[in-house]
Amino acid sequence: MRTLTTLGLTVLRLLAERPQHPYELRQQIREQGLDRIVKVTHGALYHTVETLAKAELTRPVETVREGKRPERTVYEITPAGLELAHDRLRELLVTLTPEYSSYCAALAFMSLLAPEDAMKRLELRCVLLASELAASQTAYDTVVKRGTPPIALVEMRHQQAHLRADLDLTRSLVEDIRDGRLSWG
């Protein structure tokens, strides 16, 4: 396996907790709010599970059937899968990867708009950011109440920190435009 994708790492992390079938994995991704950091489609999840099994990073342990539902294969992580997950995680924790934000590009080209138009757009962004931050906090509180351990929620804290920083900067830009400290030359 060339490299472990974020979805692959997600699957391995969940399987490290306990053996599961892909449908359970999908439920866990939703319940733990991991779908906010990794894009998960039905097809991508099943493809990832198959790819991990072919690479012997996971292995099927049983096939179960509940009622009239189709058979479901339960997978567990292998020692090689756990080792690769550890290695990939160590790499990700120390790698600074440039992120190409469309908002950053918009800020760089904001002078194409009239100051009043830019300010109105930034004010709207503040409303949207505040709403997203509130929704994120609600989601965080919900998973905490379910008993999710804090270590499983650090990515949500990271996302909230980015939202707060974005909101603070955007509010500051609105004030700077309104007060004339940021003007178009």
pLDDT tens digit at each of 185 positions of the chain: 567 999 999 999 999 999 999 999 999 998 887 888 898 988 999 999 999 999 999 999 998 887 787 888 999 999 999 999 999 999 999 998 888 889 999 999 999 999 999 999 999 999 999 999 999 999 889 988 989 888 888 988 999 999 999 999 999 999 999 999 999 87
Q: What CATH number should be reported for the domain holding residue 58?
A: 1.10.10.10
Is residue 107 one of the residues assigned to a domain?
yes
Closest CA to 118 of 126, 108, 110: 110
Give the Cα separation of 138 and 134 in Å (integer): 6
109 shares its domain with 76: no
One-letter amino acid for residue 61 of the chain: V
The pLDDT of residue 152 is: 81
Count of alpha carbons within 13 Å of 10, Cβ hemisphere only?
A: 26
158 shares its domain with 126: yes
46 shares its domain with 84: yes
Domain ranges, residue 122: 102-178
